[in-house]
């Protein structure tokens, strides 16, 4: 059970949108929406992992295990609109919005759009935009992250297990 949404030739930077999409991949729908809203409010950051040349370092990025990140406003707004569209598609299909997870999200380069900029000595240079295509799939998961709700048993080394057994046998012998 899934619902899709896609946008083509969107006038939003490909590189920023790719990093933003990567950040919300595999997230539950509600968390993805609040995350993007927090990014717009600069409360959380989008970690830049691939297209990070010249991207400044920020303390907020430590949460994601990296140093570089940004708050790409337009990319977040476009992805929020697409998430909203995918959610309404899911509701139309009769899926439960609370159990939806962003299963697949993909950003591709679209054909560049051309403008011109005027340079010194009467020259003209290209002034290109880098639009993108976005597609996403939401999937309904019944128990999303049920394994993480239960506390995992701590792994104990063989040496420690032997010590515990020895201590237990000594305690029994002393009684």
Calculate the dihedral angle through the C-alpha atoms of 33, 36, 38, 42, rounding to the nearest 10 degrees: -170
pTM of the prediction? 0.79
Query: CA 44, CA 37: separation in Å to the nearest integer?
Result: 9
CA-to-CA separations, 86 to 31, 154, 157, in angstroms, rounded: 15, 40, 47
Backbone φ, ψ for residue 94 (5° rounding):
90, 20
Residue 139's closest CA among 87, 80, 92?
Answer: 87
pLDDT at 27: 94
pLDDT in tens, 71-109: 999 999 999 999 999 999 999 999 999 999 999 999 999
Is residue 152 pLDDT above 90, yes or no?
A: no
Is residue 76 within 8 Å of 41, Cβ to Cβ?
no
């Amino acid at each position: 059970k899934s619902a899709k949404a896609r946008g083509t030739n969107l006038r939003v930077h490909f590189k920023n949108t790719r990093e933003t999409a990567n950040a919300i991949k595999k997230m539950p729908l509600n968390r993805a929406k609040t995350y993007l809203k927090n990014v717009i409010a600069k409360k959380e950051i989008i970690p830049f992992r691939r297209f990070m040349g010249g991207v400044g370092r920020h303390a907020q990025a430590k949460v994601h295990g990296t140093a570089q990140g940004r708050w790409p406003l337009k990319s977040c707004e476009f992805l929020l609109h697409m998430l909203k569209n995918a959610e309404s598609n899911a509701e139309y299909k009769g899926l439960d919005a609370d159990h939806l997870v962003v299963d697949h999200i993909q950003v591709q380069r679209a054909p560049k759009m051309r403008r011109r900029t005027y340079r010194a000595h009467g020259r003209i240079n290209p002034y290109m935009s880098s639009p993108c295509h976005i597609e996403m799939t939401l999937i309904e998961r019944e128990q999303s992250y049920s394994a993480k709700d239960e506390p995992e048993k701590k792994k104990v080394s063989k040496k420690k297990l032997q010590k515990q057994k020895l201590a237990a046998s000594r305690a029994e012998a002393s009684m």
